[in-house]
Amino acid sequence: MADPAASFESALALQPAGDGHLVADIPLGWDVRGNPHGGYLLALVARAMGRVVAQPHPLSVSASYLAPPRMGPADLFVEIARAGRRQSTASVRLVQDGIERVRADGTFGELGREPASPLADDVVPPPVPPPELCLDTAALETAEGEEIRLHRRLLLRFHPDTGWLRGAPSGVPALHGWMALADGTAPDPAALLLFSDGFPPSMFEAAGRVFGHVPTVQLTTHVFGLPAPGWVQGRFRTRVRGGSFVDEDGELWDARGQLVATTRQLALLRPPAPS
């Protein structure tokens, strides 16, 4: 029997429990080492806010990860900050065991069919071979030294020149390649939120796996278009390190080569656990 939690749509299921109160059950499989994936949680809180606003699409979602989330039941409390005709803004708190673990704000509207117009010279998709010629999750898990359940739900393909996956990081903190949902469904705005945190930290390409865990502290994603069916190309680059924190910027292009989302996160560098 197929695992129903393998479907991205079913993993975002919410049940109403009162005025602005929704209940989710975060399933196994959408996690990294037992911790719910940050991009999945961004899609989940956006889905909750989308249940109470009039507009159909998330335009911008910003989440702060306040405490480590857990698999299993979660309560989401949504409030509308502004309800307008063209756009609305809401906020949500994700609570487990009486602890607020994620807080997010989102602005919703209706995405048009016209492509976004990049204005900066570097907002263009870098050349990447087709997915079938890229490194797959087997190479990633060999480099990680373990199997990660998320990689059965989120398909990743890395540029063949990704040195970290071959034990020879390039020294440049950047990763690019492709992403798709393993359940075969076409990407939508919710999938773009998942993909916005889809790759491993780009810092790994700078110096290899010298950090134990790089948890997301804050993640913001702007969605600019409805993606075409097919693989989504992503590029993620770390630009600044300050003490134990790094930023990471990302861009997502659909199968037509159209820019459909940009993302930025702040992450915490943690040393590896003692052997």
Question: How far is Cα 100 from Cα 103, in angstroms, rounded to an integer?
Answer: 7
Whether the Cβ atoms of residue 40 and residue 46 lie closer than 8 Å to each other? no
- Architecture category of domain 4-113+126-268 in CATH: Beta Barrel (2.40)
Question: How far is Cα 94 from Cα 77, in angstroms, rounded to an integer?
Answer: 7
According to DSSP H, which parts of 196-262 are helical?
204-207
Question: How far is Cα 55 from Cα 270, in angstroms, rounded to an integer?
Answer: 39
Write out the H or E segment, with its range, that includes residue 191. Answer: helix 189-195
Phi, psi of 271 (to 5 degrees): -70, 155
C-alpha dihedral over 107, 62, 52, 15, to 10 degrees? 160
What confidence tens digit (pLDDT) does each residue in 239-268 have? 999 989 999 999 999 999 999 999 999 999
Phi, psi of 85 (to 5 degrees): -80, -40
What confidence tens digit (pLDDT) does each residue in 205-246 have? 998 877 767 889 999 999 999 999 999 999 999 999 998 999
Assign 273 to helix, strand or coil: coil
Query: Residue 97 has what pLDDT?
Result: 97
Give the residues of the chain that fall short of pLDDT 50: 1-2
Query: Residue 2 has what pLDDT?
Result: 46
Residue corresponding to tokens 């915490």: 268
Assign 192 to helix, strand or coil: helix
List the domain boundaries for the chain. Answer: 4-113+126-268
Query: Residue 5 has what pLDDT?
Result: 58
Query: Residue 211 has what pLDDT?
Result: 72
CA separation, residue 193 to residues 100, 161, 208 (Å): 21, 26, 26
Whether the Cβ atoms of residue 181 and residue 229 lie closer than 8 Å to each other? no
Whether the Cβ atoms of residue 55 and residue 88 lie closer than 8 Å to each other? yes
C-alpha dihedral over 210, 216, 220, 224, to 10 degrees? 60
pTM for the model stands at: 0.95
Report the Cα 223 to chain-centroid distance in Å. 12
